[in-house]
Structure 1
């Protein structure tokens, strides 16, 4: 019997086999039981913590990072609940907070598995935060060992280069740093992020190829390969992979998650490096415990 995978096209398994302890370091949970922020049209159905394990079964990942979606605003209850439901030992979260968040709340979030905060500012629509909040919040979460995760456009990255250079904590750029194609490597943001990566605490998420690809699914997102490989060459120890399930930016035609997982083999052809991207790197970035079975240990 064919299995239907919520918010994912196709039914085949990936050709690539996920290693033991592989992590999907970027996905979202949407659940109508929790408070909504902004337009309810941004809600994604069949994207709860009960739905996601089907995707894990399909692509073979065992660990995951739940990233608070904008539709749930700063009520991180949905993400904390998902961490519990998916298993606290193998699940971490990235929250959304504002400067009025209390120290006690930050401690509660940490205990619940949160290891970073996100600023989704590539568009102003329904944004729960703004650029003025980035630096003061970065100062506070740095004390907890958290990172700031940025979904910004390439133009925004370039415009805020000085701000980024001042941040004391680890920085994680979403979705290949959203460099526009076909001339991604010539955009000023590429140099900005490259300089930041020299500090040893700036990471890239290999995710969301459909966001900027001109080739699209029909072309296998082939035009994203050069920029993904560039990020990996720079610092293979500071890249992670994410599915971006349930693909909230793609409401009409959902991507094939098996194809997205197989794309990683083109982005990272070397098997040992790919193992690091899927296992060791996320274990280090997200503070996962050591696996009880034999897996790659993160480098300290």
Structure 2
């Protein structure tokens, strides 16, 4: 049924056909807020993408828990993410920060107290990146002591190039957006075998998110070309996959996706209702330390 809730950075107004279970988590979204320091190019900033704006999306798709991922526009000043955690409710919101090696132990402790449970390396395009590959291992060693994970937004070729590094990391690894394997032949790329071997170690996770990033058929084709790789990940590691909206969809500047369509797509990726509940509720509760 239509709803009168219009969500910034989201097309359509219908609610999803599927109902989110109690405690469902959106494990990947971003908040942008001009009250906080900006870093990087001006075009990295999005307006109307605050925590208050995101509440409208929660009302539309029915999720109750949230993971705020530090956006590129705010660099390594994680104040915007910490503030969003408080605004959305610290009991049911967690965050993923961006830090550099010079971060102090006291700052890591402050971030942990504020709800941070991982750090992200967004390196799929090196331009304007706040971190680099040389920082991954030393920072992974430090945050492992806090029980945090490292979240990686890398392209498939980068995953292959740094396979040995990935195998050495002591902490939990979370790959963004289906691991960004190129479509339509994702399972044929060498990165598929790299990630598959990492999944066998029991501490590697995949985010079932970002369908539009690599789909060649797009929204008009129902993102159908993503189903094979999404199902492969969900079948191999049913207890180590989570779902995320990627709102406000910062890569999509001309036409924003329909978040109801993206939420319903999970029903194709994970057809079994009990398995889907694990993806939305049980798995993120474990990964992000929800009580």
Q: Is this a same-fold pair by TM over 0.5?
A: yes
Among 237, 241, 256, which residue is 1:239 paired with?
241
**Quick check: 1:154–1:180 contact (8 Å CA) kept in 2?**
yes
* Count of matched residue positions in the alignment of Structure 1 and Structure 2: 289
CA distance, structure 2, for counterparts of residue 70 and residue 43 of structure 1 = 8
**Aligned ranges 1:8-157 → 2 under 5 Å:** 8-157=10-159
User: Matches of 1:12 and 1:125 in 2, distance apart?
Assistant: 37
Give the secondary structure class of the aligned counterpart of 1:92: strand
> d(CA) in 2 for partners of 1:134 and 1:151?
12
Query: C-alpha deviations, 1:242-270, integer Å up to 9, x for none?
Result: 00000000011000000000000000000
SS at match of 1:240: strand
Per-residue CA shift, 1:13-53, capped at 9, x if unaligned?
A: 00000000000000000001111111011111110011000
Alpha-carbon separation, structure 2, partners of 1:3 and 1:274? 26
Residues 107-256 of structure 1: pairs in structure 2 closer than 5 A = 107-256=109-258
Does the aligned pair in 1 maintain the 2:124–2:154 contact within 8 Å?
yes
Once the two structures are TM-superposed, the CA of residue 2 in structure 1 deviates from its matched residue by 2.7
Unaligned runs of 5+ in 1: 290-300
Partner of 1:292: none
Partner Cα distance (1:41, 1:19) in 2: 36
| SS in structure 2 of the partner of residue 65 of structure 1 | strand
Q: Which runs of 4+ in 1 moved over 4 A?
A: none
Which of 273, 287, 290 is equivalent to 1:288? 290
Deviation at 1:216, TM superposition (A): 0.3
**Distance between the aligned counterparts of 1:210 and 1:41, measured in 2?**
20
State how far apart, in whole Å, the 2-side matches of 1:182 and 1:3 are. Answer: 35
Q: In 2, Cα distance between the equivalents of 1:140 and 1:5?
A: 38
Superimposed CA distance per residue, residues 51-78 of structure 1 (whole angstroms, 9 cap, x where no aligned partner): 0000000000000000000110000000
Q: Quote the offset at 1:114 in angstroms.
A: 0.0
User: Quick one: distance in 1 between partners of 2:123 and 2:136?
Assistant: 11
**Cα separation, 2, equivalents of 1:198 and 1:99:** 29
Structure 2 gaps of 5+ residues are none
Inter-partner Cα distance in structure 2 for 1:126 and 1:220: 32
Separation in 1 of the partners of 2:248 and 2:189?
A: 29
CA distance in 2, matches of 1:244, 1:192: 24
CA distance in 1 between counterparts of 2:101 and 2:255 reads 37
In 1, the alpha carbon distance for the partners of 2:38 and 2:157 equals: 29
Asked if structure 2 preserves the Cα contact closer than 8 Å seen for 1:239 and 1:281, the reply is: yes
Q: Secondary structure at the match of 2:76?
A: coil
| Corresponding residue of 1:293 | none
Contact in 2 for aligned 1:37/1:126 (Cα 8 Å): no
Q: Confirm or deny: 8 A CA contact 2:61 2:260 kept in the other structure.
A: yes
Q: What is the CA deviation profile of residues 223-281 of structure 1, one whole-angstrom value per residue up to 9, with x for unaligned ones?
A: 00000000011010000000000000001100000000000000000000000000000
Aligned to 2:135, what secondary structure does the other structure show?
helix
